[in-house]
Amino acid sequence: MAFIISITIFFLALIANQSTLVGKTTAEAVLDFPKNDIQDLKHEILRIREVYATENPNDFNDAIQKIAIAKKSSILHYSIDTSDISLKTQIYFNNGITEYNEIYY
């Protein structure tokens, strides 16, 4: 009986031991991948796309590139193909650690 109880306690201890690592690794993983930056950029590009679908949606590329280099130390670039009926849109994101490409229609 003592044996069984001590094995149970041992496994419970193992769980407690591992659980302290969870918060740490999660925080590190979240910090490593610029999820919010990419989502924000995508939101902004989609906003420009819906507002300027028929005009020149690529006019803001310059501003975004310049500000991103200066303020975010990242390279951002987008292009919206207005000749394409589905407005093929490409975004490029690179902050030195994460490089990210996306194409959507």
Which residue of 38, 72, 92, 95 would you call a contact of other proteins, by CB under 8 A? 72
Rule CB under 8 A: say whether 54 interacts with other proteins: no
Name which of 99, 78, 75 is nearest 89 in CA terms: 78
Interface region with other proteins, contact rule CB under 8 A, candidates 37-45, 86-94, 96-104: 37-45
Interface region with other proteins, contact rule CB under 8 A, candidates 1-9, 87-95, 96-104: 1-9
- Enumerate the β-bridge partners of residue 91: 78, 102
**CA pair distance 105, 97, nearest whole angstrom:** 27
Q: Within the chain, how many helices (H) and strands (E) appear? A: 3, 3
Task: Report DSSP state, residue 17.
Answer: H
Q: Output 8 or 101, the one with its CB closest to other proteins.
A: 8
Which tokens go with 32? 């490593």
Instruction: Tell me which residues touch other proteins (CB under 8 A).
Output: 2-3, 5-7, 9-10, 13-14, 16-20, 23-24, 27-28, 30-31, 36-37, 39-41, 43-44, 47-48, 50-51, 59-60, 62-64, 66-68, 70-72
